[in-house]
A = this chain, B = another copy of it.
Amino acid sequence: MLVNKKIIMRLLQYKNVLSRLKKLGFIKIFSDNIADSSGTTPAQVRKDFSVYGISGSKRGGYNIDELIIELNKILGKDKITSVIVIGAGNLGAALINYKFFEKENIKIIAGFDIDSKKINESAPTPIYHLDKMAEFIKKNNIRIAVITTPHIAAQQITDTLIEAGIKGILNFSPAQIKGPEEVIIQDIHLQTELESLIYFVNAAKKERP
């Protein structure tokens, strides 16, 4: 499944970077500029564009408005996607209140938790009890869920989510959750990311003390 995740991640990154460069007043842009502000190389940028049939003008670079439109078309960023968050602990609550998503047509419309202290059905983004999750997904036709629960709960919640119709899961729990092939599961292991950073810093220190 994740065959071309890397290229899609880069295209999304280009799109996000271009919006910012546009705000700064850029009208024309070169593969070199894009690469620099996306953390990749000009050759990579041109290659990615080539694969998806995006072309600029030789010598003149790319028109930033046209580029953004083309990327948005490829990336299907035309309609709003509703997302729910399972687990309203520290991380879950943070994501629920994260403002950056809405700009990109992503709307977190509800949170769910098993702890009655966390529940607040009248908040701007309501937090419901886990019991109401399956029904909510079906009623609102939700396809995407974010899991921020502890390890122990993750697989059971995954099963319920998929049963109710969820097709994509962003998993922040350390659990290796499993589902049928057609459901897409992407993991973000915060702990492992931080551990690997520490590893490489220590390794570099050993090399040149």
Q: Which residues of A from 160 to 209 have beta carbons under 8 Å from B?
A: 167-170, 174, 176, 182, 184, 186-205, 208
Residue tally, chain A, CB below 8 Å to B = 62
Report if A144-B193 is in contact (Cβ < 8 Å); known contacts: A90-B93, A93-B90, A98-B91.
Answer: no
Interface residue ranges, A against B (CB under 8 Å): 1, 5, 8-9, 12-13, 16-17, 20, 36-39, 75-77, 81, 83, 90-91, 93-95, 97-98, 100-101, 104, 106, 143-144, 146, 151, 167-170, 174, 176, 182, 184, 186-205, 208
Residue among A39, A76, A176, A194 with the most chain B CB within 10 A?
A194
> Which one of B36, B144, B190 contacts A201 once the chains associate, using CB atoms below 8 Å?
B144
Q: Are B97 and A196 in contact (CB under 8 A)?
A: no
Q: Report the copy number of this chain in the oligomer.
A: 2
Task: Check A197–B144 contact: CB distance below 8 A.
Answer: yes
In the docked arrangement, what's the CA distance between A202 and B76, Å? Answer: 8
A199 touches B101 (CB 8 A): no
Q: SS class of chain A's interface: helix, strand, loop or mixed?
A: helix
- Tell me the minimal C-beta distance from A145 to chain B in angstroms: 10
Contacts of A200 in B (CB 8 A): 1, 5, 8, 168, 184
Which residues does chain B contribute within 8 Å of A20, judged by CB atoms? 151
